[in-house]
Structure 1
């Protein structure tokens, strides 16, 4: 047995113990991530896709989308929701397989995620600004290539603009491997423990890790079916192999990129992308992947300046 096989077997055994302990306890319902009305879309061949709505305010609707990881949820965008709710119509989309959306054991692909966003834009029936986070930026860009009513994109620490870092999945766009499917349950049970979730979230913060974000991440990772979409992510099947060339460089909408450092992605191709007309890059210094938690005033100032420029 080689070293990799021994490591996988060890992780599976530890995960099996964690999985058995988790199954012994009832799963409480997942609270709403934000103070909005929960609504739902139905995707053919998939089922329910959840989104939260606060239609108050005026102006073009704002759609917030989340990242993709072992415990992704709408809570990741709560600071931006709280900043804009009541001022302009705000909608928060939870990708298929995450949050309050259905979590069936089906193939999770970039096309499925893209369908969720384009369906929400169609439901709104008007132009909207989209803010996307991390890998969600690739789905948002793919949707913008298909849906002209996406007026602009703001991408926070987007993947696809450089090489993955720190052991994050490669952008292979490949189907889930046999070993991952076989060991997926125990492996995910190990990943979703509080120490594991705290470790990975901590790599996205320069300062203290918010306890409420950890609590919510643990809660969402314990919902029935929670492992299926994250395992597609871990296997690399949700990435576009060349997102910069295949997606970002083809965009015609105005784009804002907010970045600094990130424990999971790099931005080696950002200068190339930012040199294109209509593309703006703003560095939110002193942050590590979730700048809207640590430097919300700076993030909001950059977003507001970007959107005001669209009106001019």
Structure 2
């Protein structure tokens, strides 16, 4: 079942899609933040968890398949959205699954509201956007890139140039999917439709340039995990790009955190290998 949520931020109402299926203990699946991410990437995992859970997945403000208003999307905004979601829409879920950048926001919520989630699963968790990861930190020109992409005339052209079909394919083959043939023409068309939604460029450029990084360092990320004080499982793939994998392994090594390293998988292993991820979750949090 699909329904639409309406969340308000600074006087602007933002429509967001929410899908749900199954019966049993509640489970909320948070998709990653990226230029091609929507809640649909969680559907394969959702189908496998639905026999034992009432599973919901929702788009983040600035992402998804709805038109997106021009706003200054910030970590404070996304954290406020998740706080609202876990208070008003899915209170006290038995299971919270967060992919990629959603992991830092899930930990941020639990660090301030411990005990409000039964179990937490972080799938290929990240805290740093692509540009800061490549450049080993923030650069002053990142803000200029955001301003240029926000601009009325220049912005759409720059955005379209950097998210053309060849650019998307190079990105996903290098960092997102293990099997280059997984991105069939049909799947590529769906991904490109996400990037061409009205207003998509504003949140996308902020993610890419680190403008949606919830924390500024590995130490801060690990500190959130320590404060969260919830049974936590980290699932990641052996083929994850080295810089991102190092961050995942640092988190997985923390006392009290369980981890599963799959033999395959990059940054979207929940989408490409849902059976293996679902099996790991089932062992950690049976319905």
| TM-score computed with the length of structure 1 as normaliser | 0.77
| Residue 195 of structure 1 pairs with residue 171 of structure 2 | no
Corresponding residue for residue 221 of structure 2: 244
Residue number among 109, 120, 126 corresponding to 1:143 in the alignment: 109
Aligned-residue offset at 1:252: 0.5
Cα shift at 1:101: 5.0
Distance across 1 between alignment mates of 2:80 and 2:65: 17
Q: Distance in 2 between matches of 1:187 and 1:265?
A: 27
- Counterpart of 1:121? 86
- Mean CA deviation greater in 132-141 or 170-179: 170-179
Higher helix share: 2
Is 1:159 aligned to residue 130 of structure 2?
A: no
In structure 1, what is the equivalent of residue 18 of structure 2?
52
Structure 1 residue ranges without an equivalent (≥5): 1-35
| Structure possessing the higher radius of gyration over alpha carbons | 1
Per-residue CA distance 1:90-147 (angstroms, 9 max, x = gap): 1112111011455222211122112222212212333341111111111121122233
Pair 171,143 (structure 1): closer, same or farther in 2 beyond 3 Å: farther
3-state SS of paired residue (2:234): strand
131-140 or 118-127, which deviates more: 118-127
Say if 1:42 and 1:48, in contact at 8 Å, map to a contact too: yes
Cα distance per residue 1:147-187 (max 9 Å; x no partner): 34222221111113x99799657664989613441254322
Q: Are the counterparts in 2 of residues 165 and 264 from structure 1 also a CA contact under 8 Å? A: no
Does the CA-based 8 Å contact 1:156-1:259 persist in structure 2? yes
1:224 aligns with 2:198: yes
Deviation at 1:278, TM superposition (A): 3.2
Q: In the alignment, is the contact (CA less than 8 A) between 1:129 and 1:150 conserved in 2?
A: yes
Whether the aligned pair in 1 keeps the contact of 2:131 and 2:209 (CA below 8 Å) is no
Distance in 2, Cα, partners of 1:114 & 1:171 = 22
Residue of structure 2 equivalent to 1:85: 50
The alignment yields a C-alpha RMSD, in angstroms, of: 2.9
Q: Do the aligned partners of 1:53 and 1:92 also contact (CA within 8 Å) in 2?
A: yes
| Structure 2 stretches lacking a partner, 5+ long | 150-154
SS in structure 1 at match of 2:246? coil
Which of 72, 76, 79 aligns to 2:37? It is: 72
Are the equivalent residues in 2 in contact too, given 1:165–1:266 (CA < 8 A)? no
User: Aligned partners of 1:68 and 1:163: how far apart in 2?
Assistant: 9
Instruction: Give the distance between the partners of 1:173 and 1:241, measured in 2 at CA.
Output: 13
Q: TM-score normalized by structure 2?
A: 0.83
